[in-house]
């Protein structure tokens, strides 16, 4: 009994598993698994070991090869690990087979992200969206849930459920899915009324990868107190604030961060939250320039934005966290091609400014570097949108009827 209490109090330990597919190198996979470890950490799990395997494509039955699975099994048994996390979404079949073999709790990237979203959801809207995504994920994987239930109750091993129980579970989940969908339609209606009530004020949305500093910047620009922390997905609900720069008011919204391989179930559920993005006049794309894979993060964000809204929006790129930027200068006689790690900040600035001209700025929200310049840029851009919208009115005398 005493032993049980001690192990409960410790953080849950987990093993991470990822594939090295053609076109990826060891470094890429390391970065991907770093992100998975950060996700695990956000969920309160300590990733103690990583397994990778070079494969052209995942094994359809067990994701990794059977030899690798045995290796993982030996480690898990030897070190009394109770959780294995895979870096890709596992098919129901893969999940079943792996669980049968390893006999511990298995999560994949999707279920881990869903778990984090569930623990972070605050409002009825976010809760309903996450719950819907979770049920959709569960539906094809019901057998597995049932065996879990059996185990929790101390049932024997991996016994599958009887047909009737499975059917009942399926029906319950389908009912819940349709109830949640109705609930979300109602919330969406309310939200769209709220958005209409905001009138014609220019709307700016902060977008970007998760943990880049969107909420921190929102707080700086709007003097609000949106929750920000060094964990993934701190923000799940969109916050909208009225911001006034000089005499020009506009609406600024903080949105949910994106991540690579964001589960399609979630993208679908969060489409309504992202209406904010869709209806924005200007997007401010925040990038964490201190992150080793920031360029890939930019691509993920741009791709996700295209999925949400097929129209290309005016965008400013804000490279944040310049204070945390580091690089390793190359030795003079080192002739291997330079990578992101060897390039200094000035050169990166030049490259991006060459690509984006006036549409980018380098700041530190933490140290408040260049924030005034950012404000000037925002002022100019919002003013331009305003003048285009109200060509016959002087924007300074425009009256706003909303808060
Ligand atoms: N070093 C440094 N850290 C920063 C800077 N701006 C924000 N951070 C930190 O980065 C972490 C994430 O900041 P958030 O504002 O929560 O990021 P976010 O983009 O809103 O993240 P999600 O809501 O999780 O998508 C926090 O620990 C911030 O303190 C910066 O300019 N420099
Ligand atoms: Mg945030």
User: 143-201: per-residue pLDDT in tens?
Assistant: 644 444 444 444 344 444 555 677 778 888 899 999 999 998 888 888 778 777 767 78
Q: What H or E segment, with its residue span, contains residue 351? A: helix 345-356
What local confidence, expressed as pLDDT, does residue 377 receive?
Answer: 95
pLDDT(225) > 50: yes
Which range is least confidently modeled, 181-195, 221-235, 362-376? 221-235
Query: What pLDDT, on a 0 to 100 scale, did the predictor assign at position 63?
Result: 96
Residue 399 clears pLDDT 50, i.e. is over it:
no
Q: Which of 39-48, 58-67, 141-150, 353-362 has the lowest mean pLDDT?
A: 141-150
Lowest mean pLDDT among 138-147, 248-257, 272-281: 138-147
The model's pLDDT over 121-140, given as tens digits with 9 standing for 90+, comes to 888 888 898 899 999 988 88
Q: Look at 394 and 286; give whichever has higher pLDDT.
A: 286
- pLDDT value at position 285? 97
Q: Which of the four CATH numbers 3.40.50.1220, 3.30.450.20, 3.40.50.11060, 3.90.960.10 does domain 13-117 have?
A: 3.40.50.11060
**What is the reported pLDDT for 149?**
45
Q: In terms of pLDDT, which residue wins out, 53 or 164?
A: 53
Q: pLDDT at position 157, please?
A: 40
Q: What percent of the chain has pLDDT over 70?
A: 86
Interaxial angle between packed helices 214-222 and 371-389, expressed in degrees from 0 to 180 and rounded to the nearest 10: 80
Cβ–ligand 1 contact at 204 (below 6 Å): no
Name the residue of 218, 220, 228, 325 to mutate for ligand 1: max ligand atoms within 8 A of Cβ.
228
- The Cα 336–Cα 355 span in angstroms is 25
Residue-range domain boundaries for the chain: 13-117, 121-145+163-197, 199-389
In this prediction, residue 217 carries a pLDDT of 95
Atom of ligand 1 nearest to the CA of 233: 24
Mark 242-276 as b/e (b = at least 16 C-beta within 10 Å). Answer: ebebeebbbbbbbbbbbbbbbbebbeebbbbbbbb
236 is in an annotated binding site: yes
pLDDT per position as a tens digit, 281-303: 999 999 999 998 999 999 999 99
At residue 53 the predicted structure's pLDDT band, cuts being 50, 70 and 90, is very high
H or E element that contains 53: strand 45-54
Residue nearest to atom 14 of ligand 1 (CA): 213
The pLDDT value recorded for residue 143 is 65
Q: Is the pLDDT of residue 17 over 90?
A: yes
Residue nearest to atom 8 of ligand 1 (CA): 213
Q: Is 38 exposed, middle or buried (0-12, 13-18, 19+ CB in 10 A)?
A: middle
Query: Of ligand 1's atoms, which has the minimum distance to the CA of residue 320?
Result: 31
Burial of 361 (0-12, 13-18, 19+ CB in 10 A): buried
Q: Look at residue 210 in the predicted model and tell me its pLDDT.
A: 93
- Whether 13-117 and 199-389 share one fold: the answer is yes
From CA 35, how far away is CA 38, in angstroms rounded?
Answer: 5
Contact between 213 and 368 (Cβ < 8 Å): no
Place of tokens 């934005």: 305
Nearest ligand 1 atom to alpha carbon 217: 15
pLDDT at 151: 45
Distance 318 CA to ligand 2 centre (A): 15
Task: Find out whether the beta carbon of 233 lies less than 6 Å from any atom of ligand 1.
Answer: yes
| Predicted pLDDT at 269 | 72
Domain range 199-389, its CATH number among 2.60.40.3950, 3.40.640.10, 3.40.50.11720, 3.40.50.300: 3.40.50.300
Mean pLDDT of 315-328: 94
């Amino acid at each position: 009994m005493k032993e049980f209490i001690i192990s409960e109090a410790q953080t849950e330990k987990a093993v991470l598993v990822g594939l090295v597919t053609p076109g990826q190198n060891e470094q890429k996979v390391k970065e991907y698994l770093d992100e998975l470890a950060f996700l695990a950490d956000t969920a309160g799990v300590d990733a103690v070991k990583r397994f990778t395997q070079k494969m052209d494509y995942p094994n359809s039955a067990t994701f990794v090869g059977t030899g690798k699975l045995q290796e993982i099994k030996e480690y898990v048994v030897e070190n009394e690990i109770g959780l294995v996390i895979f870096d890709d979404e596992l098919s129901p079949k893969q999940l079943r087979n792996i669980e049968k073999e390893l006999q511990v709790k298995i999560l994949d990237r999707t279920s881990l992200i869903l778990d984090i979203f569930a623990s972070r959801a605050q409002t009825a809207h976010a809760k309903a969206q996450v719950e819907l995504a979770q049920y959709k994920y569960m539906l094809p994987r019901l057998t597995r849930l049932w065996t879990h239930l059996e185990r929790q109750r101390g049932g024997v091993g991996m016994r599958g459920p009887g047909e009737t129980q499975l059917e009942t579970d399926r029906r319950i989940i389908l009912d819940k899915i349709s109830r949640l969908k109705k609930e979300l339609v109602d919330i969406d209606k309310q939200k769209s009324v709220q958005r209409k009530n905001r009138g014609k004020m220019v709307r700016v949305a902060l977008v970007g990868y998760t943990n880049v500093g969107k909420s921190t910047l929102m707080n700086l620009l709007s003097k609000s107190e949106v929750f920000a922390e060094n964990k993934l997905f701190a923000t799940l609900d969109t916050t909208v604030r009225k911001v006034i720069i000089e005499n020009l008011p506009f609406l600024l919204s903080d949105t949910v961060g994106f991540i690579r391989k964001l589960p399609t179930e979630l993208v679908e559920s969060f489409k309504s939250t992202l209406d904010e993005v869709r209806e924005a006049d200007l997007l401010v794309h925040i990038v964490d320039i201190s992150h080793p894979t920031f360029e890939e993060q930019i691509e993920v964000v741009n791709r996700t934005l295209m999925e949400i809204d097929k129209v290309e929006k005016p965008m400013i790129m804000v490279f944040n966290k310049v204070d945390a930027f580091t690089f390793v200068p190359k030795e003079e006689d080192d002739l291997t091609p330079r990578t992101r790690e060897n390039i200094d900040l000035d050169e990166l600035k030049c490259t991006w400014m060459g690509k984006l001209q006036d549409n980018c700025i380098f700041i530190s929200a933490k140290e408040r570097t260049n924030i005034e310049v950012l404000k000037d840029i925002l002022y100019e851009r919002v003013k331009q949108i305003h003048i285009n919208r109200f060509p016959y009115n002087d924007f300074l005398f425009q009256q706003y009827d909303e808060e």
